[in-house]
Structure 1
Amino acid sequence: MYIGIDLGTSSVKLLLVNSKGEIVKSVVKEYSLQYPKENWMEQNPEDWEKSTFDGLKELIKGYENDIKAISFSGQMHGMVVLDKEDKVIRPAILWCDQRTSSQCETLNSRYGKKIIELTGNKALTGFTAPKLLWLKENESENFKKINKIMLPKDYITFKLSGDYSTDVSDASGMLLLNVEKREWATELLKELELSELQLPKLHESFEVVGELSEKAKKELGINNKVKIIAGGGDQAVGAVGVGVVKEGVLSVALGTSGVVFANSSKYFADEEARLHSFCHANGGYHQMGVMLSAAASLKWWVEDINHSKDYDIFLEKEAMSSQIDKNLFFLPYLMGERTPHNDPNAKGTLTGLNIQHRRGDITRCIVEGITFALRDSLELIKSMGISTDIVRVSGGGSKSEFWKQMIADIFNLRVDTVNSTEGPAYGAAILAMVGDGLYKDVNAACEALIKVVDTKYPNENNRKIYDEKYLKFKRLYPALKEI
């Protein structure tokens, strides 16, 4: 048996998978978010630890001595800092936290385009390096206590194995890694007055980093040797989970955030760093565009505004029955925006309303706005000459037939649904299999395990309407920004 652990923003998901790649059992454990100030978001790493261990105990019951390897997927960029006693110094500052605008300006202005040469990216509020600079400037005593810096999933790896380790896909989002060379960017470390000794050891996502510790084995009731495999950032591992390991196949992840992900065998970076250039979990590279409020925008509308959880009524009935309105627009910037605007102060808007509009019209418009914002990333990927033929969709939004068809129409690409519906957790299980030697590499594992089960093609009439509407959508942000 193999275990894939996906440490998300709101919950940890654990999968037990057999050697044929079949899911035997899954467990989800939730934990809370903290909002100390507007646009600040934190979590206690101890909550991740408790939820993960509780989930593991439930997951492996009856299979305690059948586990061969464990691997991970994790929410990216979160700053976890430990002192010399390996105790958490302060709550983790998360990927969606927006407090580091001035620190990003400092890093980007000081380095200019050199920061892109050093890391393949520029400083963004979500990344880890600006968070460390914020800590240095605002909580100097906590900064001085730092003995180890980790990413969220790496804290769980440490608690299971005792090893200080990370992988290159997750480390790519720290703004501390030379992505092209797959090594720490020492010049930036010096800028932050940090050393490599404070950082975990780098691995590829499919490499063994250690073994389940005796302490963890005792707590979990396991007696045999269990390999701990590095794992990766949630988007790279999620792409593995739906088989996006070949060029031409894109991943669109419809989670809290929205991601358009393109695999590449070679490294290259956008000159303006509008896309993220990161290491992939299969040993290659990828380019990625990220919007901050994808499913979060839909959740806001359905649950917070309409006090419902029946997404089928909103999407598959009301929105599907609504007609495309060429003049009704939604900008999904409810938590600022990353790609392509890099504006933590961007705001959401609903414009073009009239008295005849009904709830289904607004729901359709919201889903359109999210998908148009995802297309922004697609257009950047295409402009870099990256092949774009097929989309594979994952995340909560992938359950909606209505939304998948809309992606096909707005992207003008074929949208495949695969037999793997567990995304990052399943990708982590695949990495565990590869790390244990069950498959020669990640690509071979994906080829063997992941199959297409459904395909949607663009509706030509809708495509033409959406092409026109997208051009208007692109003009809204710069126009409203001036107000």
Structure 2
Amino acid sequence: MEALLGIDLGTTGVKAAIFAAVDGRPLASAFVDYPLFHPRPGWAEQNPADWWQATLKAIRSCLEQGARVGVQPSAVRGIGLSGQMHGIVLLDEAAQVIRPCIIWADQRSEPQCRWMTGQVGAARLIELVSNPALPGFSAPKILWVREHEPELFARVRTVLLPKDYIRYRLTGRMAMEISDAAGTCLLNVAEGNWSSAVLEAIGLDPALLPPVVPADAVAGTITEEVAALTGLLAGTPVAGGGADNACGAVGNGVVRPGLALVSIGTSGVVLAHAEAPHVDRSGPTPRIHTFNHAVPRAWYLMGVTQGAGLSLRWVRDYLGLPERALERWTDLDAYELLTREAEGAPPGCAGLLFLPYLQGERTPHLDAYARGGWIGLTAAHDRRHLIRAVLEGVAFSLKDCFTIITAQGLQLEQVRATGGGAKSPLWRQIIADILGVELAVTNASEGPAFGAALLAGVAAGLYPSVEAACEATVRVVENTAPRPELVTLYARFYEQYRALYPALRTVFHALAGLS
């Protein structure tokens, strides 16, 4: 049996999974978590050493499981990596990590965004890299370190993105894969190379950036050292891989025009395949991202809400679970317990709305200082309403993204749902009702790790193209249709949801100044 290994470096942990190349069947999987640190409000950091140790452990666990079903390391024909975007791993001359990684969710670099925009010019920046400078992106984070930690920055010789750092540790070769590089705000997205004009304008040495490599090509091979640490065979090819959302799209077959993806992970994403690098021109600043796809010579448009699954995780961690639920549903995990409880509240939550801006917000507000909260709370509301309002609030934020993307003129035939949140029938139904579209679920149960594995299959020569890999392995297994009466109901609530941010923006910024 020919098999493929996909590794997805997420925000909460790393997942490794082995798949049968012939049909994409999952044969083994392992998840290992690691901590996320918030040194100050709006800051978010992780230690690359934690990623690396978790990756080694997940690979070993996967191979042990695989051996029990007859899959030996020699059967693994290729390895692909997916990962959280935008984080910066800073390496010194000895290729040692200098400081914790400032990850995608970090919002500290708003002043650097303004400075970068002023140096390049707002319109010129969009022309060169197809996206505005945002705190979530890599370039402003690099500039923050240069400004606030100059002695440390003087030691930096290479900047890598999270999954590209893990690939370096696996192979000994430094590179930045194109779909991930697109999120740095330093890549010419239309042409697929580093923008010398932007680098010159902000005074950043291009030598800090490694070569850009394709997602579906071999970017290195497993070293002898890693083989000894994991059980993989030395020389096994490792593909460029892809950004988490690009790999999620590949794993769900969103690799041709007409298809879109709704993903609910820590963040929430609406993504649509595009054959050209469209840029949102509906306002002075694009409110959705235009990035290179993991599919060669293709792009995708993407809207992002920062706090999707993150909001429900906050509820889990800080509101907890009711004792009666634990007594009744001891065999269910925490998130299913929460969504079961939310089923007891009516659609619209009796007038309770939730803003999921726990880490600022990207689409459509591009505001690092946006804040979350429940609005409309009365003494008649209880935990059920609070939880359901979170599910609905995230869905409303996804509708913000969906509305802008569909306004770009893309003709969408089907929207596919993925991510941990999409596993909840209730949350899936709420999203279908709020978006007013049918959601299709595929057999890609392992998320971006599956897409990463398919890219490895192309790199290893098992499939002739990414499209052919998806054709051979991806199947729609379930559909969730919107309910017309609730489409109408939620449309009214959505209008009130949209009115909240403009009404509260001044308060949000004042509160941010006091924190």
Tell me which interval the TM-score lies in, with the shorter structure as reference length: over 0.9
Give 2:112's aligned residue: 103
Q: Distance in 1 between matches of 2:19 and 2:309?
A: 27
Match 2:290 to one of 258, 277, 282: 277
Change (3 A) 1:323 1:57: closer
CA drift of 1:471 comes to: 1.2
Matched, 1:37 2:40: yes
Q: Distance in 2 between matches of 1:154 and 1:133?
A: 20
Residues 144-155 of structure 1: pairs in structure 2 closer than 5 A: 144-155=154-165
Q: Distance in 2 between matches of 1:482 and 1:209?
A: 48
Give 2:51's aligned residue: 48
Mapped contact 1:389–1:413 kept (Cα < 8 A): no
Give 1:355's aligned residue: 379
Matched, 1:88 2:91: no
SS of alignment partner, residue 388 of structure 1 = coil
SS of alignment partner, residue 113 of structure 1 = helix
CA drift of 1:98 comes to: 0.9
Mapped contact 2:259–2:415 kept (Cα < 8 A): yes
Give 1:122's aligned residue: 132
Q: Distance in 1 between matches of 2:118 and 2:201?
A: 13
Q: Which is further off, 245-254 or 278-287?
A: 245-254
Matched, 1:202 2:185: no
Match 1:262 to one of 265, 272, 288: 272
SS of alignment partner, residue 79 of structure 2 = strand
Change (3 A) 1:37 1:224: closer
The normalised TM-score by structure 2 is: 0.91
Q: Distance in 1 between matches of 2:396 and 2:192?
A: 33
List structure 1 runs of 4+ shifted beyond 6 angstroms: none
Give 1:166's aligned residue: 176
Q: Distance in 1 between matches of 2:394 and 2:250?
A: 24
Mapped contact 1:12–1:48 kept (Cα < 8 A): yes
CA drift of 1:364 comes to: 1.8
Q: Which is further off, 248-257 or 70-79?
A: 248-257
Match 1:404 to one of 418, 428, 431: 428
> What is the RMSD of the two structures over their aligned residues, measured on CA atoms?
1.5
CA drift of 1:12 comes to: 0.5
SS of alignment partner, residue 182 of structure 2 = helix
Paired amino acid for 1:122: P
Change (3 A) 1:203 1:319: same
CA drift of 1:415 comes to: 0.5
Q: Distance in 1 between matches of 2:357 and 2:174?
A: 36
Give 1:421's aligned residue: 445
Mapped contact 2:321–2:338 kept (Cα < 8 A): no
Q: Which is further off, 82-91 or 347-356?
A: 347-356
Residues 302-341 of structure 1: pairs in structure 2 closer than 5 A: 302-307=316-321, 310-319=334-343, 321-325=345-349, 327-341=351-365
Give 1:296's aligned residue: 310
SS of alignment partner, residue 115 of structure 2 = helix
Mapped contact 2:441–2:478 kept (Cα < 8 A): yes
List per-residue Cα deviations over 1:31-74 (Å, max 9, x = no partner).
11122222111111111111111221222233222221111001
CA drift of 1:196 comes to: 3.0
Q: Distance in 2 between matches of 1:317 and 1:460?
A: 24
Match 2:245 to one of 235, 240, 246: 235
Change (3 A) 1:72 1:364: same
CA drift of 1:182 comes to: 0.4
Matched, 1:377 2:401: yes
List per-residue Cα deviations over 1:429-468 (Å, max 9, x = no partner).
1111111111111111111111111111110000011111
The normalised TM-score by structure 1 is: 0.97
Paired amino acid for 1:12: V
Give 2:225's aligned residue: 215
Match 2:4 to one of 2, 5, 8: 2
Q: Distance in 1 between matches of 2:266 and 2:194?
A: 29
Q: How many residues align?
A: 483
Mapped contact 2:224–2:234 kept (Cα < 8 A): no
Paired amino acid for 1:211: T
Give 2:167's aligned residue: 157
SS of alignment partner, residue 75 of structure 2 = coil
Mapped contact 1:169–1:205 kept (Cα < 8 A): yes
SS of alignment partner, residue 503 of structure 2 = helix
CA drift of 1:353 comes to: 2.0
Matched, 1:138 2:176: no
SS of alignment partner, residue 60 of structure 1 = helix
Q: Distance in 2 between matches of 1:90 and 1:9?
A: 17
Matched, 1:178 2:188: yes
Q: Which is further off, 48-57 or 144-153?
A: 48-57
Change (3 A) 1:405 1:222: closer
Q: Which is further off, 236-245 or 357-366?
A: 357-366
CA drift of 1:268 comes to: 1.5
User: What residue ranges of structure 1 are gaps of 5+ in the alignment?
Assistant: none
SS of alignment partner, residue 104 of structure 2 = coil
Change (3 A) 1:317 1:98: closer
CA drift of 1:328 comes to: 1.9
Matched, 1:18 2:24: no
